[in-house]
Amino acid sequence: MLNGKVAIITGATRGIGFATAKLFLENNANVVILGSKEESVNTALEKLSKYKEKILGFWPNLNEENEIEEIYKKVYEKFGKIDILINNAGISSSTPLENYPYSEFQKIINLNVNALFICSKLVVPYMKKNTGGVILNTSSMVSIYGQPSGCGYPTSKFAVNGLTKSLARELGKYNIRVNAVAPGVINTEMVSCLPKEVIDPIIKSIPIGRIGEPIDIANAFLYLASPMASFVTGAILSVDGAGMV
């Protein structure tokens, strides 16, 4: 479905990002993995070593424009284009408001919103050279419902939705589509560490009867990145089993 496309995925060393990178490679894309640490990037590259001719990995500070621009230049030199950007990197928190230090709030906004802005802004000139491209963002079900504690995370994801819809309107004239996927409860490392007495009620609250798997979100990204979604832009696609927590 992505034959010959070049995709850059942030937060791609584990969970949803890694599943998406693997699925894109299986669909014949060239993939650039971005992670926060050299060690985690190298581990991910080793797991995907069968695709070594089609994959690169870097560990930039996503809030540093010069580092992102340098990576984009390297990707362009290697593959000759950039077709797809997935802004997946993000962090969460559940700190109650009265105990919430501003530094923690700012850290979430920096990665979940500001980095998305930087990575998207700098990729547009490359997509214009291709006469089009796709920018995809990882939102969350909390961007619709909020959450009972840790207001920084849902605030950031509401912002992701706003950026998604606004950039879709701004960049459509360049044939650049911009969409987001809003996952529900997904079986990532963070969720798998929760005790059974916490997980079981969550599962019971989801009409489809299970929590999601990273591949469920990866499949949504694959659809939105592919020609099958050529008339889809500005969408926030919920992939949550109709659940709400």
Tens place of pLDDT for every residue, the chain, 245 residues?
Answer: 999 999 999 999 999 999 999 999 999 999 999 999 999 999 999 999 999 999 999 999 999 999 999 999 999 999 999 999 999 999 988 899 999 999 999 999 999 999 999 999 999 999 999 999 999 999 999 998 888 899 999 999 999 999 999 999 999 999 999 999 999 989 987 677 667 787 788 888 899 989 999 999 999 999 999 999 999 999 999 999 987 65
Instruction: Kindly state whether residue 164 falls inside one of the protein's structural domains.
Output: yes
Instruction: Kindly state whether residue 245 falls inside one of the protein's structural domains.
Output: no
The domain spanning residue 126 has which CATH number? Answer: 3.40.50.720
Instruction: Kindly state whether residue 160 falls inside one of the protein's structural domains.
Output: yes
Instruction: Find out whether 47 and 57 touch, Cβ atoms under 8 Å.
Output: no
Instruction: Kindly state whether residue 145 falls inside one of the protein's structural domains.
Output: yes
* The pLDDT of residue 85: 98
Instruction: Kindly state whether residue 244 falls inside one of the protein's structural domains.
Output: no
* The pLDDT of residue 2: 97
Instruction: Kindly state whether residue 227 falls inside one of the protein's structural domains.
Output: yes
Residues noted as catalytic: 153
Total structural domains within the chain: 1
Instruction: Kindly state whether residue 158 falls inside one of the protein's structural domains.
Output: yes
* The pLDDT of residue 244: 64
Expressed as residue numbers, the domain containing 61 is 6-239
Instruction: Kindly state whether residue 182 falls inside one of the protein's structural domains.
Output: yes
The pTM of this model reads: 0.95
Closest C-alpha among 47, 46, 55 to residue 25: 55
